[in-house]
Amino acid sequence: MEEKPKQEKSEFKAILRLADKEVKGEVPLFHAISRASGAGFMFANAIVKVLKLDEKKQVGSLSTPEIEKIEEAMKNPAKFNIPKWLFNRRKDLDSGEDRHIVSSDLELAKKFDVRRLRRIKCYIGMRHARGDKKLKVRVHGQRTRSTGRTGKTVGVVKKRGK
């Protein structure tokens, strides 16, 4: 009697690292991709469609080659024919090309952008330099008397002495 080779069961991973972000294994693939910094709803949808994966499949049940393919698609989406309008760095100032940045590279790029804005002393750069955290700019005729005053008391102050 011939023995059949045992099929390897794909192990379910409780916690998985996807694009430098730890994700629980029970999370659907679609949500796991969109949780990584630099990948949103539309970008995650494009990756799932291009790689022909089931978006409702739990990310913990994916094999290692599938995870590597997802990460490669997140780092080099042009290689997988994902439209350029989904990239987060179109016409990059440094290189002039369309790129997509994820994880810690995105945070570093943001820091360099803020430094450039501070160096050229544009309005938003000056707000960063002053330390205005919220960067709220009233441009469409909003009320400024009662709103937009973070950290300040809004209300009636009684006059003293009368």
Q: For the chain, which domains are there?
A: 15-86 (1.10.8.50), 103-149 (no CATH)
Which pLDDT score is estimated for 49? 92
Find out whether 34 and 74 touch, Cβ atoms under 8 Å: no
Q: Cα–Cα distance between 159 and 162 in angstroms, integer? A: 7
Which pLDDT score is estimated for 16? 83
DSSP 105-160: HHHHHHHHHHHHHHHHT-HHHHHHHHT-SS-----SS---SSSS-TTS--S--PPS
Q: Cα–Cα distance between 45 and 31 in angstroms, integer? A: 9
Which pLDDT score is estimated for 61? 86
Average pLDDT, the chain: 81
86-114 b/e (C-beta count within 10 Å ≥ 16 → b): bbbbeeeeeeeebbbbbbebbeebeeeee
Q: Cα–Cα distance between 103 and 107 in angstroms, integer? A: 7
User: Beta strand 15-17 with 22-24: parallel, antiparallel or unpaired?
Assistant: antiparallel
Which pLDDT score is estimated for 46? 92
Give the chain's residues under pLDDT 50: 7
Per residue in 65-78, pLDDT (tens digit) is: 888 999 899 988 98
DSSP 5-25: PPPPPPPPPSEEESSS-EEET
Which pLDDT score is estimated for 119? 93
Per residue in 18-41, pLDDT (tens digit) is: 888 888 888 898 888 888 888 888
Q: Cα–Cα distance between 18 and 73 in angstroms, integer? A: 12
Rounded to an integer, what is the distance from CA 146 to the centroid of its chain?
Answer: 33
